[in-house]
Chain A
């Protein structure tokens, strides 16, 4: 299908025009984003507080000793600052109230650009009338009280944005106030073009200045550290996976990698949303695409570590930075990832060649995620399926793969297989005993003679024997973790492999099976071996 590029381009222009119309008609809102909520003047050397709000450094209340704080016990944390913002009201540690480097520079640039657009001649008169927010909100009875504060008005030039900012600089527009605009132009011009010209500039300054030092992109959800440096929220989180130091000034940040409870920079986010909403959307989409590995079906994160089994729990202690990131992404997504074992012998793995990991693995679902303060985590998972890796790649330091689920045959196929196998074994057995009446039946034949249920019953019998012999691998503690043996022949082998202390490489064989009988026979072979080793020695616990 051939797509015309024209409609899309037009749409983009329309989007931008919408933006300008919005800000021409709501210049007040945009200017408020450059105004300190405390002193109502343009921001001067702003500080961004741990709650994500900003005020001028000179507008921070005096610090005072904090009561009943003993952790973290550094002298600068024992001094507190009462947050001046009514929507927060918390007491912040003085150590965390530092000048916001990015915001300070940005405000200076915006101020400079607006001053450059100040008209040289007084030829664009407009009447600006302050509308007190309190007067709007208050009920009639209280009006007398509110009227003590008089709304102000002025005639200014340069379009809505420039004149609104001028009023703020004059200290005549309260942070909470709205504005009414009335053009005094003889020709009825509402100075829309003047607003578009300055908006174009401001938009440019904001998106150039808010470039993240970690990813070299426009900041996505900017988040400011206690030392006053700002990064994309996800970039800061990734940095914290590796080190607790600020990438710019190397100060120790003491923030957990999840950034839980850490507010994003409210003002920078609002400025981006106001001036560059199209770029923010594009950036969000790009990040989503990036995390999808660029190839939509190579989307299964692979944890190369240990053997995990379907239906059974697997417990992980995650400390490697790349896996911290992977777990966080899983938690934000569908909570699923693939567990594969190391390929210790570098044996070729089907079409994949001698990969670092084995080609069959278990799909795990996170059921419990406990994040520690230092960024490590304890993860409890449950096996929800098996897979085979068909292709693999890397994403931010960890492996990802395109997987194909490994499923058991249908029950009807399983049934007819049981029939064929047992019937054939019957015939072989009869023939064998005719020919060699004194010899015992070969093991494969004995195995095939058993019905699937008999195979399971024999396994269960072995468990009972082992319990009577108090085998340590069947202790109460282990049963508490893995549960009682399941009576379903399909899942019993997974339980058995989870509790039995034999090499993981042997248990791995279960992941490749597609037939229940096949799995039970593998278990059976382990049991026969244990019995064979146990009985001759005469001791019930020589092996296990």
Chain B
């Protein structure tokens, strides 16, 4: 296999040395392109208090193509579907090689703080969100408590 590009090495180093508050990303020992990610639910969002697990994979032609990111923790959100796939422009057509793992995870965190039911991936959730927002937020909170509870020490 090809050696890990310098860029990935540097990004990984920086993620561990200067971590982003509320976000962690740790590569697997046996596959340095595959990261275990956790994101804290942003405060004042229905996801507050939750700890969300994601997987992130850097494809062979990264950074020419975006990282592949998916939620592993179940989440009730109009832009995230049942399989954890995320509808976010910077992960698709608006990707640029000048972006990085750090900026992508920040965008995902921001998406949790600002759900956008007008650009849905999960249609049923988006529909519920539009019809009765407070009820949808209540459901999102319940899901957070149920699925994204922090492990208690």
Contacts and interface: CB of A to CB of B under 8 A. Distances in A.
Partners in one complex: yes
A374 to B, nearest CB: 17
B60 A394 contact: yes
Given A239-B64, A395-B60, A396-B61, 8 more contacts: A215-B5, A215-B6, A241-B64, A247-B97, A248-B96, A290-B2, A396-B60, A400-B2
Contact of B6 (A216, A242, A243, A245): A216
Given A290-B5, A293-B2, A294-B2, A397 B60 contact: yes
Contact of B98 (A248, A321, A397): A248
B1 A216 contact: no
A245 B5 contact: no
B5 A397 contact: no
Interface residues of B, number: 18
A397 B2 CA distance: 11
A397 B60 CA distance: 5
Contacts of A217: 6-7
Contact of A213 (B1, B2, B64, B98): B98
B63 A214 contact: yes
A361 B61 CA distance: 24
Given A217-B6, A294-B2, A294-B3, A397 B61 contact: yes
A250 interface: yes
Nearest to A243: B96
A446 to B, nearest CB: 50
Interface residues of A, number: 27
Given A213-B97, A239-B97, A250-B96, A393 B1 contact: yes
Interface in B50-95: 59-61, 63-65, 94
B11 interface: yes
Interface in A246-282: 247-248, 250
Nearest to B64: A242
4 smallest CB-CB distances across A and B, nearest first, come from: A397-B61, A247-B98, A216-B7, A294-B3
Contact of A321 (B1, B6, B61, B94): B61
Given A216-B6, A290-B5, A238 B98 contact: no
Contacts of B97: 213-214, 235, 239, 247
B128 to A, nearest CB: 34
A238 B60 CA distance: 13
A400 B61 CA distance: 14
Nearest to B62: A397
A235 B5 CA distance: 13
A4 to B, nearest CB: 27
A245 B97 CA distance: 10
B96 A290 contact: no
A293 B65 CA distance: 19
A290 B5 CA distance: 8
